Structure 1
Amino acid sequence: MQNPIKYITLLFLCTLVSCSDVIDVDVQTDTLRLVVEASLDWEKGTTGNEQSITLRTSTPFFETQSTDVIGAEVSVTNDNTGEVNLFTDQNNGTYTTTTFNPELGASYTLEIVYDGETYTASDTLNAVPDITEVYQDTEDGFDDETIELHIVFTDFEEEGDSYFFKFKRPQDLLPTLELGDDEFINGNEVDWWYEIDDDEDEEIKPLAPGDVVNITMHSISRPYYNYMDIVIDQMGGVGIFSATPVDVKGNCINTTNPDKYAHGYFRVTQKNTITYTVE
């Protein structure tokens, strides 16, 4: 009688050999698009004349380095006065100006001419309230043993103010981004608090004495608020109750070829920046 173990072993080896074929997987590729990083942020208390815009092209799936855009024509126009600010090509994907003149309440239009196509985008510059106090305690957060920071300001009486907050410690890989509006706080003093939850999987620790937190508060337009609301939701990842990530379109329109829109957003904001050391 033949030993059945020999036949089983032979069959197993044949199975291993038959699984050695290389399978090529076709990855979907999107249209190569212009990527616009155009955040004209005016630090309150400064002239705001120095501004920069970064342009690059989108990156294919398996590539890690983007391509800097050189040779574009970049300008920003104050729609109220017609004043045109030309941005100088630094030959590294960055375009700069030292003559920007920020005007509260003004609408600004960005124009980019690149590779025979014209892109435009518009945004409005709104005033940001003064931050009157920054303090810490453990009373208002989700965990009464965790330190939270409080940013106090008074919302303007005019309705329709929208705010964008960014909190960042040097040891954090990414900042925390938050949005707010004055729908229920119009004209009142606001105490905006910020707390970090302990996350062992992401190696994120709550605020602790000695931590340095860089805080930025922007006053933003409502269209930018709506855009960032989607972006922040997408950054949260995909869970059971989360929306599937989608291609988030900014406000940069290709007037030459509308289907070839750009990624990114053109924003104009006034901001407050504060550095706080946790005690």
Structure 2
Amino acid sequence: MRKASLLFAAAFIFFACEDVIDVDLSTSEPRLVIDALIGFNSRNGDPITVGQVKLTLTAPFFDEEVPPALNASVSIIDEETGEAFELGESEPGVFTIGFPELQFNRDYTLSITYEGEIYTATERLNASPVIDNAVQGDGFLFDEEEETEVIITFTDIPGERNNYLFSFGFDNFLVIEDEFFQDSEITFSYFYEDVEPGDLLPITLFGIDDEFATYAELVLTQSGEDGGGPFATPPATIKGNIVNTTNSDNFPFGYFAISEFDARFITVTE
């Protein structure tokens, strides 16, 4: 797990010291990290299912690279039909090939076999509204020269309480609950930093359930909004919805979510 005491930073106060100081940080056995978000869209022609199941391992705090989990097998099981769809890797530890076409009101189980142990989670497809409008504005929060405003409008799914996850690209995410705009249209601004004219800004809206909203909020709070998103390895022990059915003590990190989505793209102008 990537953890170290903030007190370690005090060691750098003595940067002028010529002696080499070895700091012995305790380490633990690597755990599996499962980042699994599958999106479904049937509004723009043929239905499409996209996403990835990314398998990595926790690593010591000062390691610069996060190692992939190799030689795993991953499948999605349609619990209504019993059919299992085996996924293929597009790169080591990243499975993006072979997703089934999803349907609402069905349970889907993610099943992963890694080093003789089986990890599973079962979820249902969550509905998402469409993005009614997304345009570039001319406002700013703090720095007119560094910020680019995007104004987004969407309408809450009526008749129920909802949670939504916005992805703004560049590992920027926002979780929204409809408490104050239930059954209504909402318009809000999001501010990008350090983007240039001609840059393409992807804006994606996912419908999510209460459990994933809580998990995403916790991870975003701990890692920072641009700290890798709700699927980044959390800096503290935040368990997701995936369990190790073979050895419960060797639990994984990460989350499995399936969501309907809508997307818009904006090209930055002057």
Aligning the two structures, in what range does the TM-score lie when normalised by the shorter sequence?
0.7 to 0.9
**Mapping of residues 89-238 of structure 1, within 5 Å:** 89=89, 92-138=92-138, 142=141, 148-168=149-169, 174-196=170-192, 204-205=193-194, 210-236=198-224
Partner SS, residue 167 of structure 2: strand
1:158 positional shift: 2.8
1:276 positional shift: 0.8
- What is the one-letter code of the residue matched to 1:185? F
- What is the one-letter code of the residue matched to 1:36? I
Task: Give the conservation status (yes or no) of the 8 Å contact 2:38–2:50.
Answer: no
Task: Give the conservation status (yes or no) of the 8 Å contact 1:85–1:97.
Answer: no
1:266 and 2:243 aligned = no
1:88 and 2:88 aligned = yes
1:50 positional shift: 5.3
1:165 positional shift: 0.7
Deviates more, 1:20-29 or 1:109-118: 20-29
Q: Could you say if the C-alpha distance between residues 214 and 84 of structure 1 is closer, same or farther in structure 2, counting changes exceeding 3 Å?
A: same
Task: Give the conservation status (yes or no) of the 8 Å contact 2:39–2:50.
Answer: no
Equivalent-residue separation in structure 1 for 2:24 and 2:99 (angstroms): 48
1:209 positional shift: 5.6
Equivalent-residue separation in structure 2 for 1:178 and 1:50 (angstroms): 20
Task: Give the conservation status (yes or no) of the 8 Å contact 2:76–2:84.
Answer: yes
Task: Give the conservation status (yes or no) of the 8 Å contact 1:50–1:98.
Answer: no
Task: Give the conservation status (yes or no) of the 8 Å contact 2:90–2:97.
Answer: no
- 1:15 alignment counterpart: none
Task: Give the conservation status (yes or no) of the 8 Å contact 2:121–2:256.
Answer: yes
Equivalent-residue separation in structure 2 for 1:61 and 1:144 (angstroms): 34
Q: Could you say if the C-alpha distance between residues 54 and 25 of structure 1 is closer, same or farther in structure 2, counting changes exceeding 3 Å?
A: same
Percent identity (aligned): 33
TM-score where L is the length of structure 2 = 0.77
Equivalent-residue separation in structure 2 for 1:63 and 1:136 (angstroms): 39
Equivalent-residue separation in structure 1 for 2:98 and 2:18 (angstroms): 61
Q: Could you say if the C-alpha distance between residues 161 and 211 of structure 1 is closer, same or farther in structure 2, counting changes exceeding 3 Å?
A: same
Residue segments in structure 1 that go unaligned for 5+ positions in a row: 1-18, 169-173, 197-203, 238-244
1:247 pairs, out of 237, 246, 251, with 237
Task: Give the conservation status (yes or no) of the 8 Å contact 1:137–1:147.
Answer: yes
Figure out how many residues of one structure are paired with residues of the other and give that number. 241
Equivalent-residue separation in structure 2 for 1:208 and 1:94 (angstroms): 30
The C-alpha deviation readout for 1:40-93, integer Å capped at 9, x for no partner, is: 122453522455422222222343333333332321122344332222356722
1:31 and 2:26 aligned = no
1:68 and 2:68 aligned = yes
Equivalent-residue separation in structure 1 for 2:242 and 2:122 (angstroms): 8
Q: Could you say if the C-alpha distance between residues 50 and 278 of structure 1 is closer, same or farther in structure 2, counting changes exceeding 3 Å?
A: closer
The C-alpha deviation readout for 1:170-222, integer Å capped at 9, x for no partner, is: xxxx43211112222221112132124xxxxxxx44x7765532211111122
Q: Could you say if the C-alpha distance between residues 183 and 61 of structure 1 is closer, same or farther in structure 2, counting changes exceeding 3 Å?
A: same
Partner SS, residue 67 of structure 1: coil
Partner SS, residue 271 of structure 1: strand
Higher CA-based Rg: 1
TM-score where L is the length of structure 1 = 0.74
Equivalent-residue separation in structure 1 for 2:19 and 2:129 (angstroms): 64
Supply the RMSD in Å over aligned alpha carbons.
2.9
Q: Could you say if the C-alpha distance between residues 143 and 127 of structure 1 is closer, same or farther in structure 2, counting changes exceeding 3 Å?
A: same
Q: Could you say if the C-alpha distance between residues 84 and 158 of structure 1 is closer, same or farther in structure 2, counting changes exceeding 3 Å?
A: farther
